[in-house]
Amino acid sequence: MKLDGSYYKKVLDNLYDGIYLLDDDRRIIYWNSGAEEHTGHKRADVLHLKCHEVLMHVDDKGMSLCNDACPVSQTIEDNNLREVDVYLQHRDGHRVPVSMRIAPIKDSNNQVAVAVEIFGDGSPKYTLRQRLEEMKGLALLDPLSELGNRRFLEMNIRGRLEEMDRYKWPFGILFIDIDHFKHINDTYGHDAGDNVIRMVSKTMSFSLRSFDIIGRWGGEEFVVIVVNVEEEQLHSVGDRLRLLVEQSGIGIDSDTVNVTVSIGATICRPGDTAETILKRADTLMYRSKQSGRNCISMDRKQEPQLQP
């Protein structure tokens, strides 16, 4: 059986994985249905644009990969296969983690092009969807952010406290607040503020491990429960969320609105209750506000003093 190009195109269009092709100038020449699903960008809107005009990849430190560190440019230059984990920018503004395989191919004129495949396994999408359905049934869902609500968070913190008492499993809390949120509401309106909350919610929830918990505490405040973690790891998780939110952006009217977050981070201590650990994390978040915002404040263990 002879297969023509239209057959292969049909196969690629029906894959869940996102696949797009670039020419040697990094312009998009093919964009399948999976790429539409992962990014929110329709094929007709992105063809012939350069990839950095659409996806704006960053690494887990929030650093742009679209210039000197571009893995696509490196593959075009050295003709080597690459696999990288990155965060692309969804059409709705939030960041989405993806695993990419970048493979050099040649067209009929022997010119190098690049095939970029976005693996769906790079995102905790299925776990999040399952958790969402469970929370809906138990009235534990915040409808705006589609995260757990305050009751959901309090239940989970109490569960983690019981585990720590019984099994000595450590966990930490991140208390997160969107900076200058009142200014956004006053300038663009409350609908725009709601869209910013959705953007920040998705960026953070997609960037956590599947067994960590995030919920909306109220207003523009969020709480993250990070399990089986020590101080440095908790700080690293919080700082990654901060950087990825900073690199997200949403179109409002003719402006692109970027926001930052202030974070308080603390590890649960013996004798803590849900109330004491949340109050401590909240206080640390306000310390970040006072320190200029867009930063993370954390209480550290006191080093033992040497006796003279």
- Helix, strand counts (H, E) of the chain: 11, 14
Q: Which candidate in 220, 230, 275, 303 is catalytic?
A: 220
Is residue 220 flagged as an active site residue?
Answer: yes
Residue 256 parent element (H or E)? strand 255-257
Cite the DSSP H helix spans in 64-189.
71-78, 125-137, 150-167, 181-188
Q: Which of 99, 97, 51, 54 is nearest to 73 (CA)?
A: 51
Q: Tokens 């973690």, residue?
A: 229
Q: Which of 212, 203, 222, 204 is nearest to 156 (CA)?
A: 212
State the SS3 of 21-33.
EECCCCEEEEECH
Characterize 142-172 residue by residue with b for buried, 16 or more Cβ atoms within 10 angstroms of its Cβ, and e for exposed: beebbbbbbebbbbbbeebbeebeeeeebbb
CB atoms within 10 A of CB 122: 19
Place of tokens 């609105």: 257
The DSSP annotation for 159-174 comes to: HHHHHHHHH---EEEE
168: region left, alpha or beta (phi > 0 left; psi from -120 to 50 alpha): left
Distances from the Cα of 94 to the Cα of 52, 147, 299, angstroms: 16, 15, 29
Give the whole-angstrom CA distance, residue 174 versus residue 166: 23
Residue matched to tokens 């953007």: 199
Q: Which residues are catalytic?
A: 220
